């Protein structure tokens, strides 16, 4: 057998003709090559670049919605068929993780993110130039599948760059881009579709942004995956020393297709059906995510048909939701200080249930916002500013529920976090994809107040979920067969 040594702090290179297999490693915990030890400016630049990509993908998911009516008329189909342009894009989010999650672990973070932004931009352009509805919705699906890389890989980039004490703050800002994108899209898309540019430019413009981010990522995005950094380091040392026995451990990893299917498809589906925490929390998050895309249909119906606004100005009503999301992000960041203090007191060992404090406030606020929107937006006798203000409560609740629940799943299933996140993304994207298909019909047929009441009652039923897991989460995790 070959002897295996470690090239690290204070270890000299083995001779060029040595048969010893030597693995490179970081020079201790303070090695400047480790992403968590990079300069703060470098971390912020890379974080901003990848989160900008997330914002563009989220914006692209909803920016076509204001142009659905005009696109449907141009192709001679009903608006229900045109709505598939939004639905299939979000459905692409459910399939994308099966490609991008394993790619990011095998080939690092940079190229999956760069290639996905390039592919998303190309398919979005293909949607814009489509000559029939079939081409448009199929290309939208593939654009969403490429865009899923941003939802899947960016949290991993932030985990590479930041420690437990600061990672929560970084992921909070990432979550902000996930929701500000769809809430910004209606008024941006509304003004574009209503202008001389027309509905096709609701696709051209985000495609241009996507391709720009891909170009910037190609030249300036740094590789943050520690295992890939060590591969690059080992390659440089081999070239310098001419010793082929110097390797990185990641180079010896052999992953079969069966392993990838198990980790990112079979195991996630198994977790959904065997782990109550993952199933219930993911269902709650799916409902919240679905509401975001349901509002893309509900808001235009309320503010255009009841209050007589143009599509562009009706889109401005989403500003209330953006304000709520920003306030929620500030609230969560403020609580991050207390979390970091508790983490330090617990010797750096996180307790997953600590993450569930914000939903204790966010869940009832979200429910109130839904009732408020429905029972003030159904009649023009109540000024439009009143239902618009309900968006502040809805937006606040959306982020206060979604982000802590996401962090809770990661902390609770840390050894299999990739599979737990894949399960969550598959379920929530599949559920959210269906909401735009029935949201407008539900508000039309049931009436605005009763449709909102139904959604509000569902939200009210789910209020105890974070409370239950905050109390019984440790017991449920102890009963899990995964960690048995």
Does residue 209 fall inside a structural domain?
yes
Q: Are residues 141 and 267 in the same domain?
A: no
The pLDDT score that the predictor gives to residue 418 is: 73
- Whether residue 230 is contained in a domain is answered as no
- In this prediction, residue 286 carries a pLDDT of 93
What is the Cα–Cα distance from 245 to 15, expressed in whole angstroms?
A: 10
The answer to whether residue 242 is domain-embedded is: no
Residue 252 lies in a domain: no
The rounded Cα 100 to chain-centroid distance in angstroms is 13
pLDDT given for residue 168 in this prediction: 79
The whole-angstrom separation of Cα 329 and Cα 423 is 25
Lowest mean pLDDT, pick from 2-16, 156-170, 315-329, 414-428:
2-16
pLDDT at 15 over 70: no
Task: In whole angstroms, give the CA distance from residue 102 to residue 417.
Answer: 13
Pairwise CA distance, residues 268 & 282, whole Å: 12
- Checking if the pLDDT of 14 tops 70, the result is no
Q: What is the mean pLDDT of the chain?
A: 88
Out of 46-55, 126-135, 204-213, 270-279, least confident range: 270-279
Please check the confidence at residue 4 and state whether its pLDDT lies above 60: no
- Is the pLDDT at 18 greater than 80, yes or no? no
Which pLDDT does position 426 carry in this prediction?
A: 86
The reply to whether 475 falls in a domain is yes
Q: Which band of pLDDT confidence, cut at 50, 70 and 90, is reported for residue 102?
A: confident
Report the pLDDT value the prediction gives residue 238, as an integer from 0 to 100: 83
Quick check: 263 pLDDT over 90? no
Write down which residue in 208, 224, 240 finishes a domain: 224
Together in a domain, 200 and 341: no
pLDDT in tens, 43-92: 999 999 999 999 999 999 999 999 998 999 999 998 889 999 999 999 99
Judge whether 310 and 456 are in contact, CB under 8 Å: no
Lowest-confidence region among 98-112, 208-222, 321-335, 354-368: 98-112
CA atoms in the 13 A half-sphere facing the CB of 407 = 30
Regarding whether 313 and 178 lie in a shared domain, the answer is no
Mean pLDDT for 92-117 is 88
pLDDT for position 1: 41
pLDDT > 70: what percent of the chain? 95
From the CB of residue 472, how many other CB atoms can be counted at a distance below 10 Å? 14
Residue 161 has pLDDT above 50, yes or no: yes
Among 209, 224, 239, the domain boundary falls at 224
Cα separation, 267 vs 240, in Å, equals 42
Predicted TM-score (pTM) of this structure: 0.88
Residues 287 and 431 in one domain: yes
Same domain, 438 and 378: yes
Choose one of 224, 246, 275: the last residue of a domain.
224
Instruction: Compute the distance between CA of residue 434 and CA of residue 416 in angstroms, rounded to an integer.
Output: 28
Shared domain for 306 and 355, answered yes or no, is yes
- In this prediction, residue 126 carries a pLDDT of 96
pLDDT tens digits for 291-324? 999 998 899 999 988 998 888 888 899 999 999 9
* 35 shares its domain with 168: yes
Max mean pLDDT range (156-165, 173-182, 361-370): 361-370
Q: CA–CA separation, 115 vs 215, rounded Å?
A: 10
Q: Is 18 within the bounds of a domain?
A: no
Task: Please check whether residue 387 is in contact with residue 376, taking contact to mean a CB–CB distance below 8 angstroms.
Answer: yes
For residue 484, what pLDDT band results from cuts at 50, 70 and 90?
low
Structure confidence at residue 2 (pLDDT) = 44
The per-residue pLDDT for range 368-416, each reduced to its tens digit, is 999 999 999 989 999 999 999 999 999 999 999 999 998 898 888 877 7
**Closest among 157, 120, 138 to 36, alpha carbons compared:** 157
pLDDT band at 105 (very low <50, low <70, confident <90, very high): confident
In angstroms, rounded to a whole number, what is the distance separating the alpha carbons of residues 232 and 214?
22
Structure confidence by residue, pLDDT tens digits, 21-53: 777 888 878 888 889 999 999 999 999 999 999
Band the pLDDT of 254: cuts 50, 70, 90: low
**Domain hosting residue 131, numbered range:** 31-224
How far from chain centre, in Å, is Cα 329?
A: 15
**Same domain, residue pair 106 and 177:** yes
7 bridge partner residues = 24
111 occurs within a structural domain: yes
Q: What is the average pLDDT across 432-436?
A: 89
> Does one domain contain both 122 and 182?
yes
Higher per-residue pLDDT: 274 or 123: 123
CATH number at residue 177: 1.20.1250.20
One domain, residues 207 and 345: no
Domain total in the chain: 2
- Both 163 and 308 in one domain: the answer is no
Q: Are residues 184 and 290 in the same domain?
A: no
Q: Which of 111-115, 349-353, 452-456 has the lowest mean pLDDT?
A: 349-353
pLDDT at 341 over 90: no
DSSP collapsed to 3 states, the chain: CCCEEEECCCCCCCCCCCCCEEEECCCCCCCCCCHHHCCHHHHHHHHHHHHHHHHHHHHHHHHCHHHHHHHHHHHCCCHHHHCHHHHHHHHHHHHCHHHHHHHHHHCCCHHHHHHHHHHHHHHHHHHHCCCCHHHHHHHHHHHHHHHHHHHHHHHHHHHHHCCHHHHHHHHHHHHHHHHHHHHHHHHHHHHHHHCCCCCCHHHHHHHHHHHHHHHHHHHHCCCCCHHHHHHHHHHHHHHHHCCCCEECHHHHCCCCHHHHHHHHHHHHHHHHHHCHHHHHHHHHHHHHHHHHHHHHHHHHHHHHHHCCCCHHHHHHHHHHHHHHHHHHHHHHHHHHHHHHHHHHHCCCCCCHHHHHCHHHHHHHHHHHHHHHHHHHHCCCCCCCHHHHHHHHHHHHHHHHHHHHHHHHHHHHCHHHHHHHHHHHHHHHHHHHHHHHHHHHHHHHHHCHHHHHHHHHHHHHHCCHHHHHHHHHHHHHHHCCCCCC
Answer whether residue 20 is part of any domain. no
């Amino acid at each position: 057998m070959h002897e295996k040594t470690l090239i690290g702090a204070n270890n000299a290179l083995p001779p060029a003709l040595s048969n010893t297999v030597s693995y490179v490693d970081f020079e201790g915990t303070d090695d400047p090559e480790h992403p968590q030890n990079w300069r703060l400016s470098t971390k912020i630049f890379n974080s901003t670049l990848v989160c900008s990509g997330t914002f563009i993908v989220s914006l692209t998911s909803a920016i076509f919605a204001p142009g659905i009516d005009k696109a449907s008329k141009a192709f001679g189909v009903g608006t229900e068929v045109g709505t598939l342009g939004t639905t299939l894009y979000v459905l692409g989010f459910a399939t994308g993780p099966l490609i991008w999650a394993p790619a990011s672990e095998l080939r690092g973070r940079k190229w999956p993110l760069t290639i996905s932004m390039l592919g998303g931009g190309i398919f979005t352009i293909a949607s814009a130039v489509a000559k029939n509805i079939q081409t448009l919705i199929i290309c939208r699906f593939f654009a969403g599948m490429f865009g899923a890389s941003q939802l899947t890989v960016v949290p991993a980039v932030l985990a590479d760059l930041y420690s437990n004490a600061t990672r929560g703050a970084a992921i909070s800002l990432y979550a902000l881009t996930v929701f500000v994108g769809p809430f910004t899209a209606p008024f941006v898309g509304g003004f574009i579709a209503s202008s001389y540019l027309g509905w096709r430019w609701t696709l051209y413009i985000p495609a241009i942004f996507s391709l720009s981010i891909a170009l910037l990522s190609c030249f300036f995005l740094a590789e943050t995956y520690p295992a890939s950094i060590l591969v690059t380091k080992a390659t440089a040392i081999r070239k310098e020393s001419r010793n082929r026995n110097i390797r990185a451990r990641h180079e010896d990893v052999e992953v079969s297709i069966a392993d990838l299917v198990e980790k990112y498809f079979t195991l996630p589906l198994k977790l959904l059906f065997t782990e109550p925490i993952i199933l219930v929390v993911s269902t709650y998050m799916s409902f919240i995510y679905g509401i975001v895309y349901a509002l893309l249909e509900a808001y235009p119906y309320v503010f255009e048909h009841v209050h007589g606004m143009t599509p562009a100005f009706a889109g401005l009503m989403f500003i209330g939701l953006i304000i709520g999301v920003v306030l929620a992000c500030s609230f969560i960041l403020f609580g991050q200080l207390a979390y970091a203090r508790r983490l330090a007191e617990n010797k750096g060992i996180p307790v997953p249930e600590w993450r569930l404090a914000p939903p204790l406030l966010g869940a009832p606020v979200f429910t109130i916002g839904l009732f408020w929107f429905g029972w003030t937006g159904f009649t023009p006798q109540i000024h439009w500013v009143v239902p618009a203000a309900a968006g502040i409560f809805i937006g606040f609740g959306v982020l206060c529920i979604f982000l802590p629940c996401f962090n809770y799943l990661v902390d609770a299933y840390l050894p299999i976090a990739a599979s737990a996140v894949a399960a969550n993304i598959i379920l929530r994207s599949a559920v959210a994809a269906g909401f735009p298909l029935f949201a407008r019909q539900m508000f039309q047929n049931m009436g605005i107040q009763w449709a909102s009441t139904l959604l509000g009652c569902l939200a009210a039923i789910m209020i105890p979920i974070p409370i239950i897991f905050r109390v019984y989460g440790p017991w449920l995790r102890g009963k899990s067969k995964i960690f048995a």
